[in-house]
């Protein structure tokens, strides 16, 4: 394990009076809290993700890839303390990027061919948790079921972004990646979301047979110095980006019978097409 001292660790070393002055907990609480910022980034192999760039050598056909979009929801973030206990990160409710236990990460900036995106980007998640020393992180890619089947037209931010929404029954696109490839120059896309959902009376869903919410866990994280990197090259390493199954969209829209989804779902440790997943480390730790 790499030696590191997070701001949480350092807080424990502060004199008691100073500790009281910096604590975020309310008077009378049994525990005090510490703010935390998680830093994220998107890369394609060793290169930073950016709209307007073209990347080479992706997937089984070593295709080129020019981005149109890269956004995703993450939720249910927890950090592991030195006692091995997982503590939830209570997200700041900023009215824009974070709501309840959910946060939107947005790596596109509406430049180049990312014309359906937004100029604003987001690569951090902020919140608080009990003071202590933490060395591991886990989170879900996706929207919790209780928030996934609401009406996007009246939903609070960031759930009001229509580009990340399928419909009331299907819910949200947990991860949206789009771009032009060598063989699919007009557009290849990956939209991850729940499928086979049962409609509820009056709208929404009562359940979904395929939740499709991958859980990511990372150990030995220095929250002072590390960035958590989503690597598109690793995610798409076993996918053919230049062709698609006849009668299906160009790419993967999470269809249970679309074989184009299988290698990407497998990388995310999600079952598909009755095949056991072979997960890849699609999120890695990188020193800033």
3-state helix, strand, coil in the chain (%, to 5): 10, 40, 50
> Where are the chain's structural domains?
33-287
Residues 181-217 have pLDDT tens digits of 999 999 999 999 999 999 999 889 999 999 999 999 9
Alpha carbon distance 269, 148 (integer Å): 21
Q: Tell me what percent of the residues of the chain surpass a pLDDT of 90.
A: 82
- Write down the pTM of the prediction: 0.89
Could you read off the pLDDT of 59-100 as tens digits, one per residue? 999 999 999 999 999 999 999 999 999 999 999 999 999 999
pLDDT at 89: 98
Half-sphere CA count of 248, side-chain side, radius 13 A: 18
What is the band of 29 on the pLDDT scale with cuts at 50, 70, 90?
A: low
* Concatenated DSSP letters of 190-205: EEE--EEEEEPTTSSE
Cα–Cα distance between 138 and 79 in angstroms, integer?
A: 6
Handedness of CA 230, 258, 151, 270 (dihedral sign): negative
Which residues, at least 6 apart from 209, have a Cβ–Cβ distance to it below 8 Å? 195, 196, 197
Contacts of 62 (CB under 8 A, 6+ apart): 56
């Amino acid at each position: 394990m790499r030696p590191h001292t997070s701001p949480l660790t350092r807080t424990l070393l502060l004199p008691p009076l100073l500790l009281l002055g910096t604590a975020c907990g309310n008077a009378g609480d049994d525990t005090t809290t510490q703010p935390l910022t998680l830093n994220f980034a998107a890369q394609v192999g060793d290169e930073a993700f950016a709209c307007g760039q073209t990347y080479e050598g992706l997937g089984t056909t070593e295709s080129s890839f020019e981005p149109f979009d890269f956004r995703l929801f993450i939720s249910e973030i927890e950090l592991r303390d030195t006692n091995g206990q997982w503590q939830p990160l209570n997200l700041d409710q900023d009215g824009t990027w974070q709501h309840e236990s959910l946060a939107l990460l947005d790596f596109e900036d509406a430049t180049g061919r990312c014309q359906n995106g937004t100029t604003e980007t987001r690569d951090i998640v902020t919140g608080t948790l009990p003071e202590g020393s933490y060395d591991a992180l886990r989170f879900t890619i996706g929207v919790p079921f209780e928030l996934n089947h609401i009406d996007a037209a009246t939903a609070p931010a960031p759930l009001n972004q229509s580009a990340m929404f399928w419909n009331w029954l299907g819910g949200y696109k947990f991860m949206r990646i789009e771009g032009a490839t060598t063989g699919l120059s007009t557009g290849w896309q990956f939209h991850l979301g729940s499928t086979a959902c049962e409609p509820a009376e009056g709208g929404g869903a009562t359940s979904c047979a395929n939740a499709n919410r991958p859980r990511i866990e990372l150990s030995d994280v220095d929250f002072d110095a590390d960035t958590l990197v989503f690597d598109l090259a690793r995610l798409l390493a076993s996918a053919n980006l230049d062709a698609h199954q006849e009668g299906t969209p160009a790419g993967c829209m999470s269809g249970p019978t679309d074989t184009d989804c299988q290698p990407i779902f497998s990388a995310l440790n999600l079952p598909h097409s009755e095949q056991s997943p072979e997960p890849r480390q699609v999120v890695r730790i990188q020193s800033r």
